[in-house]
Structure 1
Amino acid sequence: MAKTEPVGENIATDNRTDPDDDTEKTDTEPEIKSDVEIPEKTERQLELEKYWKTVRDNPTDFTGWTYLLQFVEQENIPEEARGAYEAFFQHYPYCYGYWKKYADLERRHGNLDLSIEVFEKGLRAIPLSVELWIHYLNFFQEEFGSTEKGIVKTRNLHERAIAAAGTDFRSDKLWDTYIAWEVNPVKVTAIYDRLLTIPTQLYSHHFENFKKHVTNHHPKEILSLDDFFKMRREVVAKAPTPDGEEEVPEDGPPPVIGPAPEELPPGMEREGTSDRDEVQMLRHKMIQARESVHKSTESEVSKRWAFEEGIKRPYFHVKPLERTQLKNWREYLDYEIQQGLHERVVVLFERCMIACCLYEDFWMKYAKYMEEHSHEAVRNVYRRACNIHLPKKPYIHMAWAAFEERQGNHDAAWEVLSNLEKSVPGLVMVSMRRISLERRKGNMEDCEQLFKYYIENAGTTEVMTFFCIKYARYLFKIKGDTEGARAVLHAAIAKDKSNEKLYLQLLDLEYQCRPINEDRVNELFGLMMINPDFSNDLKVKMSRRQLEFLEDFGSNIHKIKECYDEHQKLLKEVHNEKKRKHHDGSSNEPSEKRSKMDLASNGSGDGATSAAAAQTASNEPHAVYNYGHWPGYSSTSSYYPHHWGYSSQYYP
């Protein structure tokens, strides 16, 4: 897109006047004049900018890109088209059709060198694209293939194409193009010898064409002299003679192969009659020698045929693939990996990536396989996946960072995670991975700075609380800074008073102190019990836990009794609240459960009986120690309910 040059240097922007000028000065601003006129944008330029704005605002809008490319193609202005195509291929390099259009555009404008450059870029991006190779070969042959030097270059280009894509199951068209172009029969035979060993879709078609090739040429025309004489010696040595093993009839002529030739004086034979039988034997031997190869190839094709039939979309498209096709690709890859032929596995992975490049699991499967062969190849797989196809997918980036860290490349791992955080800000798991990377490197100061940065810049209170808990654990467990961890949690509670996880984390910290501080723990329990944001159910659980703590670690029996009485009052409040909701019809419990509760409370007579019993139990001196009288107490699990939000590593 054309850009207007800045013109600020040519505009008079001050009010200076000539000192010798005697004209009356006024307070009005002088008229600003410019020597350069800013050209108005044409309607076409404005339309082009609209197309560009769409893809800049959303680079993943594939349809928006197609509209932009259609527009620049119609306008036929090379400069604008180059910018659009180059930007498009930064996001979608597997679209071979647009590489062809780009190269044709340069060719129409006579830029043959640029057209070749486009083809080379496209084939570096998708070396398995048979269609793009064929288009490139036709272009090269038409433009440069008429000279002797051009023929050599075209042959070399065919060899490059075969080396890159010739083992693809659907590369038959490429092989046929090479054979049709090659005029040297000996070289054609050599091409067939390579082709017949490769399992391709049209393997039988190629074998039939080879037999026609042998039939239509004299053996010495399609074999090198060394191969021809070697094969001829073998054929002649096996031919029957009068002195051979076969019996010669006494009254008959010597045996011959085929019909007896018409005898002519030496030197007067018609062309081809003197060695007709020998030629037939040579042809037969050539075909027979390749029969076993053909059978072996046929067997390999049959093993893969079902997988190939399941591939309905071998090309790239932004539309999701059906689950059956994804499943087929996974099973096909597993089969090839099991076969153990590395070259075929890599080719199949590359084919798979063209169709499945928007799926993380296929890239990660590819990288995992390549780890056994080449670390640089693994890095290349991750680089293509993260930088081109999946720039906003976190798991593939994190896998790449982990790979680099395993290789000792901490700087590379840091760069991967930093780039991901810029592309997709606000991912907590990425932030924690960056912190953990610094911790594993031993950079404790940088680790703490990152914790503080994420706490201060947290987007929500919930995220801030998460990082505070992680930071407190780090300070307590890694650095042994109990006071620092306690301060972090208290500061977080001041900002997020209703978050029970902070209290539980602080409680866990106090429990693990050596020796345990009874006053601090009781103070914390007290804060939770008076917190108006906590539900009564949670308070009941905390009350039970406080009772257990006092029983295990408390030094004052009166405090235990006082806590127990408070616990009983809380239970009664919860019971009355549930009963009130039940009578009001606002209970969310199922009707069957409510019926059972009614029977439990009313089935034994007066409802006051259970309350009186509870009161009596609370007044008995031994009730403090009688765990069986504690409501809800049955096992250790009563004190460590799973829904507290603690993981099993703290409270199994």
Structure 2
Amino acid sequence: MSSANGFVFVCCVLDGNVTARYDQPARRRMTLDEEWCEVSLSVANDPDNFASWEKLIEYSCKGLNKASSRDKIETFRTSYEQFLKKWSFCERYWINYAQLEWQLGNTDRCLLIYRRSLSLIPHSNLIWISYLKLLPLCELEYQNLLAVYREAELRIGLHYHSYEFWRLYLELEENHRGKSIYWFNLLKKIVEIPIYNYSYFFQLLFDEIENLNQDNILLMVTRDDLVKKLKLQHSLEELDLKRINYRDLKSKLKKIYTDAYITTQFKSFELYEYEKGVKLEFYSPQMAKSYQELDNWSRYLQFIVINGDDLQIRQLFHRALVPLCEYPDIWLQFAQYYISSQKIQDAKHVLYKSLLHLRGSNKSVVQLKLVKLELSHRNYLKARDILLYALGESPNNVELLLQLIHVEKYITTDPQQFNEFLVQLVTTQNDTDVALELFKQLPHQRTDAQLRAQLSTTLHDDARYWILTLDDMLITHDVSSVLELYNECVSNNSLHHRDKLVQWHAQHLTRFVPSDYRADCALALGIN
């Protein structure tokens, strides 16, 4: 807010809507300069302009420190909160917000912001790494840290660029309990994951194999494996760690993990064929993605659905949705995966979540998919609610209107009542093109006398309506009736879209109208 001629300029953001107003001076108010007025007014005038919001955020953080005034800090928080409410997939802004709270000495607020961001973007590699790096500074107990790392593993453990996460995980265990059994098991798990930096962990494993001796062998290999898999002793009872041939043991382990290296390398190279086509990992509002990038993601996901396990599939879909959340195809592809797996509720959850990020026709595509899902489970009222909400945003969407008619058939059992609904729906359309398209798409209802009577009044001067009527009459009426109506159309000097009637004349009347009558009609229509 700012003072201007005794009044206070206020930039308000409520439920994503930005308004500007001038209020009477308040007893307590922030003192901000003209630059703040400029950036806040810019957001108020164009709340969908991402660049304006970025300037607002940048300005609200300028000079922020522990000595900043309460008003300054509240301005910073309000700016970030409203920005992230509007663009919740902006990972770096969540991180910046949390780190600024940390710098202000607000540890609890900082951690809360990280947890909030991960509740909205639970598979963000970027946020998880930043969060995990901060946790050791918060003096948490080992078991609490371990619980967080295990959660992170479920979210980003199979990410192609999860190298840093796994390195931090090993570091956590080594710092607290040394190179324990858990540490070795973790390392053996990592080398089987096809990530970009897989060779780093294999080298680490081979170094540990080289250093094996009777003091540490059981950290890496169980007694059971020493006997049954590696064949180093005849039985567990006879097993003596001092008598093991460690040169033979190391040779066998290197052979096992060399084979594993080849397998992981092959799988990593398979993924790299798609990874190299990923040009943008983060969310950037209003930045159009190329067809090549969208196609690459689609093919990548198809490959993983066929070749990956459930966790790998879900992690990749969530990763793809960060940069592509404004495109319906990935959402629909994800939902279809769940549908194919008979997880209908999960599919619905994905589709409903997509509605927070999609707009216009992109949103309508998903809403239609949701309607079909609800219809498949006979949730007719729920399907109608979805359509009515969708039509509130896109009232001229013909696909939505046709689907509403389809759903209403299930709900309305009385034919007369359904017919009245249909007549009202078609005849009350403000857009003539929409009314005509609905009329065109409803061949069985076009014979309804009430519907025709209404439309012949509202669309009397539109040739497209009469062409549809003439088409129907060609099937159900004699030629003389068709010619009579056609003659009325020709004589209507107020008729719009006469060119359509010209085309219809050329396609149909030449088949059965006498040549002299055709000539008169052509003259009336202005056809040479």
Residues 429, 49 of structure 1: alpha-carbon distance in 2 compared, 3 angstrom cutoff: farther
What CA distance in whole angstroms lies between the structure 1 residues aligned with 2:523 and 2:505?
Answer: 16
Aligned to 1:336: 304
- Contact 2:328–2:358 (CA under 8 A) maintained in structure 1: no
Q: 2:344 — aligned with what?
A: 375
Please tell me whether the aligned partners of residues 314 and 355 of structure 1 are also in contact (alpha carbons under 8 angstroms): yes
| Alignment match, 1:151 | 142
Q: Deviations over 1:137-158 (max 9, x none)?
A: 122111123xxxx111112211
TM-score, length-normalised on structure 1? 0.64
Query: Is residue 2:320 matched to residue 1:320?
Result: no
- Aligned with 1:170: secondary structure? coil
* Distance apart, 1:181 and its partner CA: 2.0
**For the residues of structure 2 that align with 1:144 and 1:455, how far apart are their CA atoms?**
69
Matched with 1:63 is 51
> What corresponds to 1:452 in structure 2?
424
Residue identity matched to 2:313: V
- Deviation at residue 383 of structure 1 after TM alignment: 1.8
Q: Which amino acid aligns with 1:310?
A: G
Shift in Å, 1:208: 0.5
1:531 corresponds in structure 2 to 492
2:325 and 2:357 in contact (8 A); partners too = no
For 2:325, which of 357, 369, 381 is the aligned residue? 357
Letter in 2 for 1:488: Q
Distance 1:485 1:564, change over 3 A: farther
- Relative to structure 1, the CA distance from residue 500 to residue 48 in structure 2 (aligned partners, 3 Å threshold; closer, same or farther) is same
Flag the 1:487–1:218 CA change in 2: closer, same or farther, 3 A: same
> 1:372 and 1:426 mapped to 2: Cα distance?
32
Once the two structures are superposed, the pairs formed by residues 341-490 of structure 1 within 5 Å of their partners are: 341-373=309-341, 374-390=343-359, 393=362, 394-442=364-412, 445=417, 448-449=420-421, 451-452=423-424, 455-456=427-428, 458=430, 460-467=431-438, 473=443, 475-476=445-446, 482-490=448-456
Quote the Cα distance in structure 2 between the aligned partners of 1:219 and 1:447. 87
Deviations 1:327-362 (A, max 9, x none): 322322232233253332222222222232222222
For residues 250 and 172 of structure 2, the distance between their equivalents in structure 1, rounded to whole angstroms, comes to 23
Matching residue of 2:77: 82
Q: Distance in 2 between matches of 1:207 and 1:98?
A: 35
Cα distance in structure 2, aligned partners of 1:162 and 1:406: 36
- Say which of 138, 141, 147 aligns to 2:133: 138
Counterpart Cα distance in 2 of 1:533 and 1:204: 78
* Partner Cα distance (1:567, 1:61) in 2: 58
Q: Where does the alignment leave 5 or more consecutive residues of structure 2 unmatched? A: 3-23, 65-71, 236-240
Cα 1:421–1:529, aligned 2, differ >3 Å: closer, same or farther?
Answer: closer
Q: Secondary structure at 2:396's aligned position in 1?
A: coil
Q: Is the 1:106–1:114 Cα contact (8 Å) retained in structure 2? A: yes
Q: Which amino acid aligns with 1:231?
A: L
The 3-state SS of whatever aligns with 2:289 is coil
Return closer, same or farther for 1:442/1:222 CA change in 2, 3 Å cut-off.
farther
Give per-residue Cα distances to partners, 1:8-37, cap 9 Å, x unaligned: xxxxxxxxxxxxxxxxxxxxxxxxxxxx97
Q: How does 1:16-55 map to 2 (within 5 A)?
A: 38-39=26-27, 44=32, 51-52=39-40, 54-55=42-43
Instruction: Summarize the Cα distance change of 1:526–1:311 in structure 2 as closer, same or farther, 3 Å threshold.
Output: closer
After superposition, the Cα gap between the structure-2 partners of 1:52 and 1:219, relative to the gap in structure 1 and judged at 3 Å, is: farther
The Cα of 1:520 is off from its aligned counterpart by 5.3
Verify the 8 A CA contact 1:85 1:102 in the aligned structure 2. yes
SS in structure 1 at match of 2:203: helix
Matched length: 483
CA distance in structure 2 between the partners assigned to 1:389 and 1:437 by the alignment: 24
Q: Does the 8 Å CA contact 2:154/2:311 hold for their aligned counterparts? A: no
Q: Which runs of 5+ in 1 are unaligned?
A: 3-35, 240-273, 551-562, 579-652
Aligned-residue offset at 1:207: 0.6
The CA distance in 1 between the partners of 2:463 and 2:283, in whole Å, is: 50
| Counterpart for residue 154 of structure 2 | 163
Q: Distance in 1 between matches of 2:500 and 2:385?
A: 47
Q: Which residue of 2 aligns with 1:507?
A: 470
**3-state SS of paired residue (1:98):** helix
2:169 equivalent in structure 1: 178
Of stretches 91-100 and 424-433 in structure 1, the one that deviates more from structure 2 is 424-433
Query: What residue number does 1:262 align with?
Result: none
Structure 2 distance, partners of 1:536, 1:115, is 67
State the one-letter code of the partner of 2:379. Answer: N
The answer to whether the 8 A contact 2:301-2:316 is kept is yes
Q: Which residue of 1 is the match for residue 102 of structure 2?
A: 107
1:191 equivalent in alignment to 2:186 = yes
Is 1:202 aligned to residue 193 of structure 2?
no
Cα offset for 1:220?
Answer: 3.7
Secondary structure of 2:284 counterpart:
coil
- Structure 1 position 174, deviation (Å): 0.6
Q: How far apart, in 2, do the equivalents of 1:371 and 1:47 lie?
A: 52
Q: Shift of residue 195 of structure 1?
A: 0.6
Considering only CA atoms, is the larger Rg found in Structure 1 or Structure 2? 1
Q: How does 1:275-290 map to 2 (within 5 A)?
A: 275=242, 278-290=245-257
In structure 1, what is the equivalent of residue 271 of structure 2?
304
Structure 2 Cα separation of the partners of residues 43 and 457 of structure 1: 51
Partner residue in 2 for 1:270: none
Q: Secondary structure at the match of 2:281?
A: coil
Report the Cα distance in structure 2 between the residues aligned to 1:536 and 1:105, rounded to whole angstroms: 65
Q: Identify the range of structure 1 (99-108 vs 211-220) with the bigger mean alpha-carbon deviation.
A: 211-220
| Maintained 8 Å contact 1:370/1:377 | yes
> CA shift at 1:188, angstroms?
1.2
* Conserved? CA contact 2:283–2:324, under 8 Å: yes
Using the alignment, how far apart are the partners of 1:121 and 1:317 within structure 2?
A: 20
**113-122 vs 54-63, which deviates more?**
54-63
Per-residue Cα deviation, 1:306-343 (whole angstroms, up to 9, x for no partner): 22222232222232333433332232223223325333
Give the Cα separation in 2 of the matches to 1:417 and 1:61.
29
In the TM superposition, residue 528 of structure 1 has moved relative to its aligned partner by 1.7
Q: Is the deviation greater in 322-331 or in 113-122?
A: 322-331
Cα distance change, pair 179–523 in 1 and its aligned pair in 2 (3 A):
same
Distance (whole Å) between structure 2 residues aligned to residue 109 and residue 540 of structure 1: 74
Decide which of 209, 233, 245 is 1:237's aligned counterpart.
233
- RMSD (Å) for aligned C-alpha atoms: 3.8
The structure with higher relative contact order (CA 8 Å, sep 6+) is 2
Post-superposition CA distance 1:38-58 (Å, at most 9, x none): 448655288656545544654
| Shift, 1:468, TM fit | 5.8
Q: Please identify, of 306-315 and 210-219, the stretch whose mean Cα deviation from structure 2 is larger.
A: 210-219
Q: Distance in 2 between matches of 1:123 and 1:113?
A: 15
Does the CA-based 8 Å contact 1:310-1:328 persist in structure 2? yes
TM-score if structure 2 supplies the norm length? 0.78
Instruction: Map residues 544-559 of structure 1 onto 2, 5 A cutoff.
Output: none
8 Å contact from structure 2 (residues 39, 52) kept in 1: yes
